[in-house]
Structure 1
Amino acid sequence: MRKTLIAGSVAAAVLALPTLSIAQTQNNGFSFVDDAKATLGLRNLYFNGDYREGDGYSKDEEWGQGFMLDFQSGYTQGPIGFGLDVFARSGIRLDSGSRTSKADRSRNPGTMFPLDHDDSAVSEFSQIDFAAKAKVSETELKIGRGLQPSLPVLTRNDGRLLPQTYSGATLTSKEIDNLTLRIGQMDEASGRNSTSHEGLLLGGGSERVNKFQYAGGDAQLGDNLVASYYFAKLKDYYKQHYLGAVHTLDLGAGQLITDLRYFDSGSTGANDSGEAGYAARGVYNDGEVDNRAMSAMFTYKLSNHGLGLGYQKMSGDSDFAYLNNGGGATAYLITDSQINKFERAGEKTWVGQYSYNFADLVPGLKFSAKYLRGSDFDVAPGEGDKEWERNLRLDYTVQQGFLKDLGVSLRHASLRSDADRDQDQVRVYLTYNFVLL
């Protein structure tokens, strides 16, 4: 599978080269290389998930070293500029659990690395993706693999050794001042612990599809307000409207940032017809997507302090709808946290957070704490409907000397839930980026 994937990617790159040569011939200048950017990112991650109750293994514990080469070419000169992006990455196992098929295992592998034929973690996994791109004025088209969207309706996950990526096409236009328009279609995803590309899923479903479409944009309305609208559709699963706004207000000596988000998700295609394999998660929804998610987050920043308070409410009979292929996914919710997402049908969640930048005392050192409490979500008779999570994070970036720009991130989370296994989790990240071009 890996050989087929790499061979197909290389073939795509070769097919793009004649186009680039023609553009070079027809123009006196050539900025494909001159404007290129390349970085090599190093990420060392220790991950420990300690389960406090329930049956099965008691711990996820793995350690690895990741390498990420991100090359972004410039564009050929002329009315239409052409370019090529390359995203190559590799993960090396330093330590892991035994085998997922071992009945009495204490550590479970697979959270950071793919599993081998004997159900143990592989010693190394790698992948290289290519995306062709074209640009006219302020409008850019990208087609290929290795795409890493960051949108309200589609956000890649980057919580482990290597990031999740997508394949498809995106079009971004900034032709109108203060307005960014985006449309796109994704057909496959590659997980953060995978070397292959697979069709797309909604959490709860088992049938993969090859089409996720979105359209929308962000408008800068004055100096202090950004408003966003997006529409998305996952074939045979759900359609979704998103409306959001972020407002910044000078208040006293600091700033008040208001973040408002609203999602309206409904069924479509096979999910709407109740076909087997296309179900959405939910206790009383019979598999049909039916969810509204409304949230408000208020953050006050004063000097080096940040204090936030938020509230989120789910309504409808299904859990929040978002693209989730398994193996790790991110939902654009104020409650998406280190372990849990608080996205269950009917769930009401309060969020409190605090951050402090030690710039005046220890430059490069930052601390943040977050607490979430959810309740009233749909449960089967006799089960509880409460859960909470606490996140603590300490980040430091070396400011000078031989190790300048080396990043260290310590993250601890505790989850206590009536619906999931209680868990304590520790992550330790060491990161460094080499600028190659």
Structure 2
Amino acid sequence: MMKKALILPTLMAVSVSTQLYAEGFIDDSSVSLTARNFYMNKNFYNNTVNQPSAVSWAQGFIFDAKSGYTPGKVQFGVDLLATLGLNINSDNTSRGVYMVPNDDTTSWGDIAVTGKAKVSQTELKVGAISIMNPVFITSPARLLPQIFRGGSINSKEFDNLELTAAYVNQVNHRDSTDWEKITLANTNWRFKQQAETDAVYFGGGYYKFSPKTKAHLFYLNVDDIYDQIEGGVENTTALTDEVNLLTDVKYYRSRDIGDANGGNVDNDMYMANFGFQRGAHKLSLGTIINSGETAFPYLYNSEVGVFLDTWPNEFWNAKEHTYSIRYDYDAKEVLPGLKFMTRYTYGNNIHTTGNQSLPGGNQDLLGGDNLHESELDFDVQYRVPEGTFKNLGLRARYAISDNNMTSSAQIKPTKETRINIDYTWKFK
């Protein structure tokens, strides 16, 4: 009789606990699996040295499970990201592909776990974190996503204000199976070396003055290499009943700090982008001006949170002035899910004689100063919006890039093709 008396309340307690646990933690969870087939071809042309194409064709799988939060004043949850890449056919992948490991590895991937806690509108994450803001981006632009390890906090406690901060100390790159230190990108030997850092910190936030006007301010510290201050404003203005003006203005200030393991960093970058949108059509005009002694610094194998997301080229050289025109078309009224983009970008006033680690100290190795580069891009993408094949996505990108640097330059004139087919199963 005593055992029966104990079993009943125990079962009731387990039942109540399970219901509470399910409320939020399970009920608000999401689980998905994306299969991505990705082909990339970098055809190096117009070069005095014969450079064979760099080709990658691979199959990837991305399993993404996110829990909700447990009930209570302090709520808890956990996320899981598992990735797997399978090399189908790849050659010369060390030449700027960053999609598959550049050794004989045929399969790679990782399992990353994130613990999270939430109090009111403030969320803390520890473990594998994904970040996207003007000074720090977790790159999604290849077969598998880039992953950083550290901790982040995000708060929306105050109306119209979002604050965020993070600390990261390791990265698992898009083409790697290993966790490693974060390093400075050193394309064309712009800095002293591809310096490693023990830690990266950033903090900042967004403030909405109105539904159409948002400002942001961020600070980034790459320990013993450089720091960066960014500020910007984004605004939408109705010019007529049918035409909107989209404005995006940013400023970045970058300087070397501490032991300056990457050498001198001295860059001010000013940028402005103006988009004119009418229905399904958008025409954008943008410019970026680099000033100071060095190129714009950024993290290796990563990206920069600006409007100009070109593919073979960077447009971050010392003293470079860049101009861009872009056209976007969203065919949602004709064929929902279909989008098209084309863009032409031209940069001049490139200085390379001040690059700090040129082999042999040869200041003319890349062609000297007052150089130029250009890129023409095409992007077509289609995602099935409904029906049996909902969540099937197809995307094709083609770029023609050129510059008048010498054949020693690491970024060479290229005709680049990217094709990917994605399908996502959403289990919850």
TM score, norm. by length of structure 1: 0.84
Q: CA deviation at 1:268?
A: 0.3
What amino acid is aligned across from residue 435 of structure 1 in structure 2? K
Structure 2 equivalent of residue 65 of structure 1: 59
Structure 2 equivalent of residue 398 of structure 1: 384
Structure 2 equivalent of residue 352 of structure 1: 325
Q: Does 1:129 align with 2:112?
A: yes
1:52-94 deviation line (CA, Å, top 9, x unaligned)? 1253642111111111011111111111001111110101111
Q: Does 1:210 align with 2:202?
A: no
- Aligned equivalents of 2:324 and 2:163: distance in 1? 31
Q: CA deviation at 1:336?
A: 2.9
Structure 1 residue runs of 5 or longer lacking an equivalent are: 1-20, 101-107, 272-277, 280-286
Residues 310 and 350 of structure 1 are in contact (CA less than 8 Å); yes or no, is this contact kept in structure 2?
yes
- Aligned equivalents of 1:244 and 1:255: distance in 2? 19
CA gap of 1:174–1:412, structure 2 versus 1, over 3 A, is same
**Aligned with residue 389 of structure 1, among 367, 375, 390:** 375
Structure 2 residue runs of 5 or longer lacking an equivalent are: 1-13, 187-192, 354-363, 406-410
Structure 2 equivalent of residue 320 of structure 1: 296
Q: Specify the SS of the correspondent of 1:31.
A: helix
1:34-45 aligned at under 5 Å gives the runs 34-45=27-38
- Aligned equivalents of 1:241 and 1:424: distance in 2? 35
Q: CA deviation at 1:297?
A: 0.1
Q: CA deviation at 1:24?
A: 5.6
- Aligned equivalents of 2:57 and 2:22: distance in 1? 47
Moved more, 411-420 or 365-374: 411-420
Q: CA deviation at 1:38?
A: 1.1
1:283-333 deviation line (CA, Å, top 9, x unaligned)? xxxx30100111000001101110000111001111112222xxx321123
Q: Specify the SS of the correspondent of 1:32.
A: helix
Q: Does 1:303 align with 2:297?
A: no
Residues 331 and 341 of structure 1 are in contact (CA less than 8 Å); yes or no, is this contact kept in structure 2?
no
Moved more, 306-315 or 336-345: 336-345
Residues 43 and 67 of structure 1 are in contact (CA less than 8 Å); yes or no, is this contact kept in structure 2?
yes
- Aligned equivalents of 2:122 and 2:231: distance in 1? 23
Q: CA deviation at 1:405?
A: 2.7
Q: CA deviation at 1:392?
A: 0.3
Structure 2 equivalent of residue 192 of structure 1: 174
CA gap of 1:415–1:110, structure 2 versus 1, over 3 A, is closer
What amino acid is aligned across from residue 346 of structure 1 in structure 2? K
Structure 2 equivalent of residue 33 of structure 1: 26
Structure 2 equivalent of residue 6 of structure 1: none
1:3-52 deviation line (CA, Å, top 9, x unaligned)? xxxxxxxxxxxxxxxxxx9x969968743222111111111111111001
Moved more, 46-55 or 251-260: 46-55
- Aligned equivalents of 1:241 and 1:41: distance in 2? 36
What amino acid is aligned across from residue 79 of structure 1 in structure 2? K
What amino acid is aligned across from residue 337 of structure 1 in structure 2? T
Q: CA deviation at 1:190?
A: 0.9
- Aligned equivalents of 2:398 and 2:324: distance in 1? 17
- Aligned equivalents of 1:26 and 1:303: distance in 2? 47
Q: What count of residue pairs does the alignment treat as equivalent?
A: 388
**Aligned with residue 412 of structure 1, among 386, 398, 403:** 398
**Aligned with residue 232 of structure 1, among 204, 217, 220:** 220
**Aligned with residue 144 of structure 1, among 112, 122, 127:** 127
Structure 1 equivalent of residue 425 of structure 2: 434
CA gap of 1:24–1:375, structure 2 versus 1, over 3 A, is farther
- Aligned equivalents of 1:24 and 1:176: distance in 2? 33
Structure 2 equivalent of residue 14 of structure 1: none
Q: CA deviation at 1:387?
A: 0.4
- Aligned equivalents of 2:162 and 2:386: distance in 1? 38
Structure 2 equivalent of residue 76 of structure 1: 70
- Aligned equivalents of 1:316 and 1:114: distance in 2? 36
- Aligned equivalents of 1:25 and 1:305: distance in 2? 51
Residues 43 and 65 of structure 1 are in contact (CA less than 8 Å); yes or no, is this contact kept in structure 2?
yes
CA gap of 1:179–1:94, structure 2 versus 1, over 3 A, is same
Q: CA deviation at 1:361?
A: 2.7
What amino acid is aligned across from residue 151 of structure 1 in structure 2? N
CA gap of 1:372–1:249, structure 2 versus 1, over 3 A, is same
What amino acid is aligned across from residue 34 of structure 1 in structure 2? D
Task: Give the alignment's Cα RMSD to 1 decimal.
Answer: 2.1
What amino acid is aligned across from residue 114 of structure 2 in structure 1? A
Structure 2 equivalent of residue 165 of structure 1: 147
Q: Does 1:85 align with 2:79?
A: yes
Q: Specify the SS of the correspondent of 2:216.
A: strand
Structure 1 equivalent of residue 269 of structure 2: 293
**Aligned with residue 113 of structure 1, among 76, 86, 100:** 100
CA gap of 1:111–1:224, structure 2 versus 1, over 3 A, is closer
1:131-171 deviation line (CA, Å, top 9, x unaligned)? 100000000000002x2100111011122110111000000
- Aligned equivalents of 2:281 and 2:204: distance in 1? 34
What amino acid is aligned across from residue 61 of structure 2 in structure 1? F
Q: Specify the SS of the correspondent of 1:221.
A: strand
Q: Specify the SS of the correspondent of 2:91.
A: coil
- Aligned equivalents of 2:421 and 2:18: distance in 1? 45
TM score, norm. by length of structure 2: 0.86
Q: Specify the SS of the correspondent of 1:390.
A: strand
Give identity over the alignment, percent.
30
Structure 2 equivalent of residue 269 of structure 1: 258
Residues 312 and 334 of structure 1 are in contact (CA less than 8 Å); yes or no, is this contact kept in structure 2?
no
Q: CA deviation at 1:128?
A: 0.4
